[in-house]
Amino acid sequence: MLRFATIGSGWITDEYIHGAKDSGLWELTAVYSRDKARGKIYAARHGAKLVFTDLHELAACSEVDAVYIASPNAAHYDQCKTLLAAGKHVICEKPLCAQGGKVRELHELAGKKNVVFLEAIMFMHLPQRDILEEALQKIGKISMAKIDFCQRSSKLDAYLQGELPNIFNPQLETGSLMDLGVYCVYPALHLFGKPESFTANCIKLDTGADGNGIITMQYPDKVVTLTYSKLGQAGANTDFQGNEGTVYVESISRLANISLWRKDGSTEALYGEQPKYKLMGWESKDFHWYITNPEESRAEYEHCTELSIWVAEFLEEARKQLGLGFDSDRWG
């Protein structure tokens, strides 16, 4: 059993802790918080014995093997770099960094320190991804894919009332593309590789963040559209269209409710869904596997590494097209 610490105290961290513990492979030993009192409350809730308010002290702690990071996007680079340099394994929530060069740098640092550095993206670690990929082999030549993650933000009403929630604050390197679009980019690049070209359009909010967007990716034999929004709720969801049938996916982030439609009109339900903590448990299991069985898991881990760099570079290029610059951008 490996020992881990957390950075971040939102609901996503709660779910990751639940999933990691449920896997039977991880023990939570520490939490990090900028506020000592809040950190103690969070640690007590989840059974962690150590609380840190200094990142360097956490990095030096011998009772922590790995760290799960779910802090605001703008903090990821510095936190990951500090922990990796200290020899800690790191799994960090998407998106890793706003710039592809930083993601590449962090992976290189992890390699030098012989530690695992992983982006926490569920799509890459769910066993139902095999079900999806097997289904795609049954629908003939794919000419179009529509990959969607449109989910009305729980913070939208606060924004509409004049507040500035974190998710709509570009100072924190957030927005619709970075928060939801990344879930669409991952399967597109994993399944089809890099496109020949792409075009991107979005609606900008008065904060400077994007509220929604559409990206059209052109391949030699197919068109892939990515639709993502924090301003409204999707109805059509995701589908992959082939000349022999279509594969539907209700939730691309959770790979939930996958079904197959055949050209003869018949349909088949292929997979249902799991609770969020179970989904995140698969991430924690693979993270553990990459750490404890480096030779056996090498090919898969290297694919995750390469893909995380591709995704970061793609997101950065999309932001350039959209004019969504951050303070950390040299081009912004």
How many independent structural domains does the chain possess? Answer: 2
Output the pLDDT for position 332: 56
Output the pLDDT for position 331: 74
* Cα 149 to Cα 179: distance, rounded to the nearest angstrom: 10
Output the pLDDT for position 37: 95
Same domain for 132 and 118: no
pLDDT of residue 293 exceeding 80, the answer is: yes
101 CB-side CA count, 13 A: 5
pLDDT, the chain, mean: 97
Write out pLDDT tens, residues 156-194.
Answer: 999 999 999 999 999 999 999 999 999 999 999 999 999
Output the pLDDT for position 39: 96
Phi, psi of 286 (to 5 degrees): -65, -40
Output the pLDDT for position 330: 87
* Cα 224 to Cα 218: distance, rounded to the nearest angstrom: 7
DSSP 279-291: HHHHHHHHHHHHH
Output the pLDDT for position 254: 96
Same domain for 264 and 131: yes
CATH number at residue 83: 3.40.50.720
Write out pLDDT tens, residues 251-292.
Answer: 999 999 999 999 999 999 999 999 999 999 999 999 999 999
Output the pLDDT for position 267: 96
208 CB-side CA count, 13 A: 13
Domain for residue 236, yes or no? yes
Same domain for 132 and 119: no
Write out pLDDT tens, residues 105-143.
Answer: 999 999 999 999 999 999 999 999 999 999 999 999 999
pLDDT of residue 18 exceeding 90, the answer is: yes
Same domain for 136 and 100: no
Same domain for 10 and 76: yes
Write out pLDDT tens, residues 222-232.
Answer: 999 999 999 99
pLDDT of residue 17 exceeding 90, the answer is: yes
Write out pLDDT tens, residues 23-78.
Answer: 999 999 999 999 999 999 999 999 999 999 999 999 999 999 999 999 999 999 99
Same domain for 181 and 115: no
Cα 308 to the center of its chain, rounded Å? 9
Look up the domain containing 159 and give its range: 127-274+312-322
Q: E strands of the chain, at which residues? A: 2-7, 26-32, 50-52, 66-69, 89-93, 117-120, 142-150, 197-204, 210-218, 223-229, 238-242, 245-251, 256-262, 267-271
Same domain for 153 and 109: no
Same domain for 78 and 184: no
Same domain for 194 and 150: yes
